[in-house]
Amino acid sequence: MTTMPVLSLKDIQVRFPVNPDWRGRPRQHVHALNGISLEIAKGETLGIVGESGCGKSTMAQVLIGLLQPTQGEMTLSSGKSNGKGGMQIVFQDPQSSLNPRLPVWKIITEPVFAAANRKVDKAAMRELAQQLAAQVGIRPEYIDRFPHEFSGGQRQRIAIARALAAEPDIIVLDEPTSALDISVQAQILNLLAELQRSRQLTFILISHNVSVVRHMCNRVAVMYLGQIVEIGDAAQVLEHPAHPYTQLLLASVPTLESVQDESAVPENVELPSNRVLPTGCYFKDRCPSASSACLQPQVLKQISTQSQEHEARCHLAHPD
């Protein structure tokens, strides 16, 4: 990476205590994130894909500061002097992430309201809300309405306007379109792309939908059991996956062209438990080409022969 990273994560680990004994001491831990190291450059869109239980949402919570990592450090090297900058999040479900009792203008300006310690001018706030609403495609005269008066796509627009109100550098998008219909999804993705261009935003897009990630992202990180198993240039990772898990994931995504191959039903599609982590490679129990070398823990290594970045956590991955 050539530019200075705006955000860097170093060996982030998150464990949740579970199953307490009679004195309340945890007997086990859920290992949600197991050593995530990432650097995010300004203006890029990093996609994070993976299946449920791989730690995507824990990652979003760590990024936004809702959750303190058990170990590791996160540095945000942007914070402007006036208190703006920083990170905002757009959640998956616009129904539950908007306060049903607040009018839209209050929802949109809430980050400013909170940052200014409630000392804000109402007229200025309303004006700000009108500007932001217009930018995300909500008619400015609707800002006195309540969230229930809007459709799902419009609510997601309001959530985006709220994220913009704090003038962040980075917006974490946690499954921003998975609750929306296809035609509305296209509208929201277009809006996000346009806002990124006009405001030089950095996006971290967390999604299980590979085609959304392919469409939106410059870089992609594939997660499995709390680790990044493959990371690199989006076209490179999604067209020439090197890690067996990425290959499996991409082969499972239904496409319009191909007809389902009816011969081989995939077996063993379950994720291993994250209570007791597997030794060695986390994917070895499901991997078609597992061997004795997979008993060793794997590290992320550079595999691309060209200049672009492409790393995979597998000893079998070779530059192609």
- Span from 15-23, 81-89, 126-134, 254-262 in contact with other proteins (CB under 8 A): 254-262
Q: Which of 24, 68, 118, 254 binds other proteins (CB under 8 A)?
A: 254
Q: Which of 189, 277, 290, 316 binds other proteins (CB under 8 A)?
A: 189
Q: Which of 193, 277, 290, 316 binds other proteins (CB under 8 A)?
A: 193
- What DSSP line would sit under 110-159, residue for residue? HHHHHHTTT---HHHHHHHHHHHHHHHT--GGGTTS-GGGS-HHHHHHHH
- Span from 59-67, 75-83, 207-215, 308-316 in contact with other proteins (CB under 8 A): 207-215
The single-letter code of the amino acid at 127 is E
Tokens of 211: 């085609």
Q: Is 190 in the site for other proteins (CB under 8 A)?
A: yes
| Spatial separation of the C-alpha atoms in residues 132 and 79, rounded to whole Å | 22
Q: Is 308 in the site for other proteins (CB under 8 A)?
A: no
β 45-49/219-224 pair status: parallel
| Spatial separation of the C-alpha atoms in residues 44 and 279, rounded to whole Å | 34
- Span from 111-119, 212-220, 292-300, 308-316 in contact with other proteins (CB under 8 A): 212-220
Q: Is 216 in the site for other proteins (CB under 8 A)?
A: yes
Q: Which of 82, 260, 289, 306 binds other proteins (CB under 8 A)?
A: 260
Q: Is 234 in the site for other proteins (CB under 8 A)?
A: yes
Q: How far is the CB of 85 from other proteins (least distance, A)?
A: 25
Q: Residue 252: how many CB atoms within 10 A of its CB?
A: 11
Q: How far is the CB of 249 from other proteins (least distance, A)?
A: 7
Q: Is 148 in the site for other proteins (CB under 8 A)?
A: no
Cβ distance 76 to 6 under 8 Å? yes
* Residues in CB range of 253: below 8 A, 6 or more apart: 210, 211
Tokens of 302: 């550079």
Q: Is 51 in the site for other proteins (CB under 8 A)?
A: yes
- Span from 2-10, 68-76, 118-126, 255-263 in contact with other proteins (CB under 8 A): 255-263
Q: Is 82 in the site for other proteins (CB under 8 A)?
A: no
Q: Which of 5, 55, 147, 153 binds other proteins (CB under 8 A)?
A: 153
Q: Which of 41, 67, 102, 184 binds other proteins (CB under 8 A)?
A: 184
Q: Which of 164, 249, 281, 312 binds other proteins (CB under 8 A)?
A: 249
Q: How far apart are the first and last CA of the chain?
A: 21
- Which backbone phi and psi does 57 adopt, to 5 degrees? -75, -35
- Which backbone phi and psi does 134 adopt, to 5 degrees? -65, -40
Tokens of 59: 């990652």
- Span from 19-27, 118-126, 213-221, 310-318 in contact with other proteins (CB under 8 A): 213-221
The contact pattern for other proteins, residues 267-296, with x = CB under 8 A and - = no contact, is: x-xx--------------------------
Write out the residues near other proteins by the rule CB under 8 A: 51-52, 151-153, 181-187, 189-190, 193, 208, 210-212, 214-216, 234-235, 248-249, 252-260, 262, 265-267, 269-270
